[in-house]
Amino acid sequence: MFAALNALGTTFIKAKKSRNHSELLFKHLKIPIKVKKTKKFDFIDIKKPKKINAFNYQIPGDISSGAFFMVLTTLAKDSRLLIKNVNINPSRIGVVTILKKMGAKIIFKNQRNYRGEKISDILIKSSKKLKAINCPTYLNSSAIDEFLVIFLIAAKAKGVSYFRNLSELNQKESPRLIWGSKILNMMGIKTDLTKDSIKIYGQPNLEITKPIIVNNYLKDHRVFMMSAIAALTCGGHWTIFDKDSINTSFPSFLKIVKDISHSST
């Protein structure tokens, strides 16, 4: 799409369904673009613009980063958290849909439109009753980066949760589906794992008392953050190596964890 901005004439793109941040930005900048959506594909036509004017843009908060704090608050006792200015593009909020189906208390507040994107503050409150889910596969693509922390909710939910068609997780920075199962097993949670699915046998009263060591996970930032949230909410004495892995996506993660843990709200 960006190459088309400097190509002569009109560029025609047939694309699999995906996130549409670029399309929204192009429309906001009045770049000549047409998008026709079908069930499986988006057909995108882009004409070379005569010029693109300079603009200011304040990047909204990332829901993938916010998801770790949604789960932290959901599993913590007597807690509430407000995360401000988060991008809630429909292609990105699968994690919220899944968590709410499992009993999490999450509310969008002060919704508005910013440069074509949907933005909202997100209020999360602790939840004492979490339930298992047979996760609809149509939600996979919009929550693919958040499944590790979703697994933590399943670990504390009543019943057996089932997640399918997740082979893509093993194509990330580490084989995340395998690592998610490993960490749950370390915590004492039973799982049934295949190459593309996982069943998680929840324990609502889970309290870990043993030491847990998380190492050799290929420095995958999301494995580190999943482990940290588990340590904060499920008990036990955790040793998590390679904390510099969070620099990939969220270098201030540990500072924010520390800050909100001292907050009265």
**Residues recognised as catalytic:** 145
β-partners of residue 239 are 213
CA angle, 246 then 220 then 151, to 5°: 100
Burial of 12 (0-12, 13-18, 19+ CB in 10 A): exposed
CB 155 within 8 A of CB 147: no
Distance, in Å, from the CA atom of 35 to the CA atom of 87, rounded to the nearest integer, reads 21
* Cα 184 → chain centroid: 18
Distances (CA, A) of 265 to 82, 170, 262: 9, 37, 9
Report the run of H or E that residue 169 belongs to, with start and end.
Answer: none
Beta-strand ranges (E) seen in 198-234 are 198-201, 208-214
Angle at alpha carbon of residue 167, lines to 165 and 199, rounded to 5°: 60
CB-based contacts of 255: which residues, under 8 Å, 6+ apart? Answer: none
